């Protein structure tokens, strides 16, 4: 339940608004709006001699063990629950409340870039069958430098033959990123997990004397394959992002494609440890959540 209670029993009836559950305290009529998640733990079989449950090896579920707060790099509208902590190979963070989380890229500390990313969930409506959420946030860096995967935007073409500007963009500077994400999630038919759609975008402003601005818009799809395996895919438009294969291509005459794709999966080894593999660098992802 949304309140945190757990009820176990036999489903007697399922309507558009309610579930009738026969429990050891009697028959309960439960509004679907109050249900956070639901699992089928077994099938009841009856014969002339007995009535019992057979545990289904591939048990049905409405929510998998992993609810994504990010599509590898780009945010969804979901946040970490209150007092939940995670650490990965690149970052760590925690849930301040159920609607606000704070994260940071700890790997950037190695070169003195103190950075904080705050995401605040403006709303989360619906139930386990259908949910909508919207979040906004900001990520501030004190010593940000332009990544190798980012080429200069069109406004910088005039500076290519000017050593002053080339040197300037090799230095570190303050940078702020503003982002937003909307996620629409529905339960798959027959309690086979969830399908979630995320639409989002971000805008980065680097505070050079001649500022650099970058933007990205994206659509992400994640689907529960099993309770432990989630497929994740994304298409994003970013005219400044350069994929690894292009960075390794020394023929600079090749035009950079602004449309990019990512595809992979996340596997929950247990309730705390997850690993993932995807198309875009750095390809391998892993994190602990406690």
Least confident span in 16-20, 68-72, 277-281: 16-20
Q: List pLDDT tens digits, range 84-108.
A: 999 998 999 999 999 999 999 999 9
Q: List pLDDT tens digits, range 214-256.
A: 999 999 999 999 889 999 999 999 999 988 887 777 555 567 7
Task: Kindly tell me if the per-residue pLDDT of 55 is higher than 90.
Answer: no
The pLDDT assigned to 162 comes to 45
The pLDDT assigned to 204 comes to 97
Q: List pLDDT tens digits, range 12-32.
A: 888 888 899 998 888 899 998
Q: List pLDDT tens digits, range 135-181.
A: 999 999 999 988 777 765 444 444 444 444 456 677 899 999 999 99
The pLDDT assigned to 58 comes to 54
- Give this prediction's pTM: 0.82
**Banded model confidence at residue 76, pLDDT cuts 50, 70, 90:** very high
- Report percent pLDDT > 70 for the chain: 85
Which among 206, 75, 85, 74 has a CA at the least distance from the CA of 140? Answer: 206
The pLDDT assigned to 149 comes to 72
Q: Report the DSSP beta bridge partners of residue 10.
A: 22
DSSP-assigned states of every residue in 266-289: EEESSSSEEEEEESSTT-EEEEEE
The pLDDT assigned to 202 comes to 98
């Amino acid at each position: 339940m949304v309140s945190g209670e757990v009820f176990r029993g036999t489903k007697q009836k399922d309507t558009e608004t309610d579930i009738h559950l026969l429990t050891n305290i009697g028959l309960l009529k439960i509004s679907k709006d109050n249900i956070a998640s639901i699992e089928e733990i077994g099938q009841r079989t009856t014969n002339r001699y007995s009535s019992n449950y057979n545990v289904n090896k591939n048990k049905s579920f409405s929510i998998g063990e992993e609810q994504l707060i990010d599509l590898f790099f780009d945010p969804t509208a979901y946040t970490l629950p209150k007092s939940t902590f995670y650490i990965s190979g690149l970052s760590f963070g925690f849930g301040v409340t159920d609607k606000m989380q704070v994260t940071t890229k700890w790997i950037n500390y190695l070169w003195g870039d103190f950075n904080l990313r705050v995401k605040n969930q403006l709303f989360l409506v619906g139930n386990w069958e259908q949910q909508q959420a919207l979040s906004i946030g900001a990520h501030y860096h004190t010593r940000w430098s332009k990544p190798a995967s980012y080429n200069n935007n069109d406004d910088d073409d005039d500076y290519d033959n000017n050593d002053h500007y080339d040197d300037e963009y090799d230095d570190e500077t303050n940078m702020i990123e503003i982002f937003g994400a909307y996620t629409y999630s529905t339960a798959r038919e027959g309690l086979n997990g969830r399908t979630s759609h995320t639409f989002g975008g971000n805008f980065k402003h680097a505070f050079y004397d001649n500022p650099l601005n970058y933007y990205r818009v994206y659509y992400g799809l994640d689907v529960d394959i099993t309770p432990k395996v989630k497929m994740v895919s994304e298409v994003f438009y970013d005219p400044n992002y350069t994929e690894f294969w292009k960075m390794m291509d020394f023929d600079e005459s090749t035009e950079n494609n602004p449309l990019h794709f990512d595809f992979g999966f996340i596997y929950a080894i247990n309730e705390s440890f997850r690993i993932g593999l995807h198309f875009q660098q750095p390809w391998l992802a892993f994190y602990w959540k406690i």
